Amino acid sequence: MRKVAVTGLGLVSPMGLDAPSAWTNLQRGHSGIRTIPDPEGAYDVISSRIAGCVWDFDPLSHFSKKELKRYDPFVQYAMVAAQEAMVSASLTDHDDSLDLNRCGVVIGSGIGGLSCIQNETKKFYLQSPDRLSPFFIPASLINMVSGFVSLKTGFKGPNLSLVSACASGSHSIMYAAQQIETGLCDVMICGGTEHGSNLLGMSGFAALRALSTRNEEPQLASRPWDKDRDGFVMSDGAGVVVLEDLDHARRRGANIYAIVSGYGMSADAHHMTQPSDDGDGAVRCMQAALDKAQMSPDEIGYINAHATSTPVGDQVEPLAIKKVFSDHAYQLCVSSTKSMHGHMLGAAGAAEAVISIMSLHNQAVPATINLDTPSEGCDLDFVPHTMRDLSYNSVMSNSFGFGGTNATLIFSRP
């Protein structure tokens, strides 16, 4: 099995429009959660009116008006993040130094072109079916995000998208790593993207009573493990990494941010939206990642937790960590950066993978802000309020999604 290097990073998020900007705001402990701009009062009828939008994102600075007819926002975010990752990896579009047949794209999403679906459905009912855009179907398909990145870069290898709710980005990175490990590809662009803060997405999750309703204090709303948490905060964005065969990366003198040293997957087989009380699925997923990496628990220094700020989910993950890591659980740093950027759904796993790699690269652990009073049983070192310097060699990142799907990634210093 070939070793897999991370050679490029791209991030579009509520914390910043690129990876370095996001890292600066993570260092400062700044929240990217605000009130959703709503001059027409459309959001007034639902319980949550706050989100982590991609603030100050100007599509026309990246795309022509013609292109924007084809690109739902979830595609726009991924294409910008993919371009940043390519530049970070010192690669160019249609790069003649690469065998493009051995380069692929796998970028997932949880719900895809929801804005396109919302807007075109409105036309369908309020105007006429013949007013629908000819780009309606292709613009809303999840796999088109990988298709458009493939068209842009010229990558002719695997081209697909994985859909597994909040684990989509993490599963995409795993699939890409497997393509390289087994010798099928040399380079893969992979990650996740989402734009769910439109009215349709917010209304759907509000109907589930999953969202925080702390509308008067948006920056305090996402509070993983805190006893006063009342739900997650919807967020948008994309996280993309370039993975590469380690030897291939070394031959071309690429900068190596990290090694993909392990990953694990599991199913809860328990409930449509909630994990089992004993955290069995998360336990098996984290253990599988450690087994794949051939690591003992005490080799992990930091866990970027899935913790979304929901009453049920936040209780289960610390329990699962204690079962896997035993006494070492209390020596770990465990934080949830969702406290600052909110829950990016299908982009969450990939965005948090980028953050985990930046943490490893900079030897600093992002904080869990808004954690004032941990709820009962949440007694690990959650790095409250302030980023902490830490010397460590490997980081674990967890992503758990609706349908009982679980994903764990482990990255190590090169």
Give the separation between CA 110 and CA 62, rounded to whole angstroms.
Answer: 24
Radius of gyration over every alpha carbon of the chain, rounded to an integer in angstroms:
20
- The Cα 131–Cα 348 span in angstroms is 35
The one-character DSSP state at 322 is H
Q: Are 104 and 188 in contact (CB under 8 A)?
A: yes
- Residue 100 tokens read as 């493009």
Q: Which amino acid is at 78?
A: A
- Share of the chain residues as helix, strand and coil, in percent rounded to the nearest 5: 40, 20, 40
166 is catalytic: yes
Nearest-angstrom CA–CA distance, 47 and 230:
12
CB atoms within 10 A of CB 298: 12
Q: Which of 53, 103, 116, 166 is catalytic?
A: 166
Find residue 388's DSSP bridge partners: 365
What is the Cα–Cα distance from 214 to 129, expressed in whole angstroms? Answer: 39
Please report, for residues 197, 339, 407, the alpha-carbon distance to residue 73 in angstroms, rounded to integers and kept in the order given: 11, 23, 25
- Cβ atoms of 165 and 183 closer than 8 Å: no
Smallest CA-to-CA distance from 204 within 273, 276, 268, 271 is with 273
**CB-based contact 248:99 (threshold 8 Å):** no
Q: Does residue 256 contact residue 414 with C-beta atoms inside 8 Å?
A: yes
* 171, 341, 343, 361: the active-site residue: 343
Phi, psi angle pair for 10, to nearest 5°: -140, 140
132, two tokens: 């629908």
- C-alpha dihedral sign at 282, 287, 293, 297: positive
Residue 343 bears catalytic tag: yes
Residue in 171, 195, 248, 306 annotated catalytic: 306
**Could you tell me the CA-to-CA distances from 46 to 185, 217, 341 in Å, in that order?**
46, 16, 21
Contact at 8 Å (CB) between 198 and 118? yes
Active site residues: 166, 306, 343
